[in-house]
Amino acid sequence: MTAKHPYPVAPPHIRIATAQDVDDIHAMLFEIARATGCEDKFKSKPEDLARDGFGHRPAFEALIAHNGDVPVGLCLYFPSYSTFRGKAGIYIQDLFVAPEYRGGGFARHLIAQAAARARSQGGHYIRLSVDAGNIIGQRFYARIGMRHAHDERIHVLDGDAFDALIDG
């Protein structure tokens, strides 16, 4: 054990999130918003996560990493499909590790578990986006073998523009 990482050297305990975890998931998602300076854009509530992640047709799955009984990490993802590859995969929407646990393998273990779950369900790849200013995150993803898709840009349609497109 080192002073920086208050946990044993053993791999973290990671499990599939349940509806009972929505408050912890929501709190970790808010920490992502805070870290990226987007608190004002963070509108979700625990009820939204319960409805959309643990209802009749779950829109996402999440893995939670624990240090003892304390949730310290999250990987939230959903199915994806690549028509170019002709294969299914997953899209990681959110990855979070509490600051005091970073650098100790929690994020790598979370992504590896998500990849293993994807593979067990016929998945062949992971996609994600990373905040342009998150250089540490970008370096981490490169270290675990992810590559930047230089030929792609993410576009978003939401809010009034989303409604205007539908309503004509």
Task: Please state, in angstroms and rounded to a whole number, the distance separating the CA atoms of residues 94 and 91.
Answer: 9
User: Is 77:66 a contact under the CB 8 Å cutoff?
Assistant: no
Instruction: Tell me, rounded to whole angstroms, the distance of Cα 4 from its chain centroid.
Output: 24
- Concerning whether 141 is annotated as a catalytic residue, the answer is yes
Question: DSSP readout, 128-163?
Answer: E---TT-HHHHHHHHHTT----TT-------HHHHH
- For the chain, the 3-state helix, strand and coil shares in percent, each to the nearest 5, are 40, 25, 35
Assign residue 10 a region (left: φ > 0; alpha: ψ between -120 and 50; beta: otherwise): beta
Task: Please state, in angstroms and rounded to a whole number, the distance separating the CA atoms of residues 74 and 155.
Answer: 25
Catalytic residues, which ones?
Answer: 141
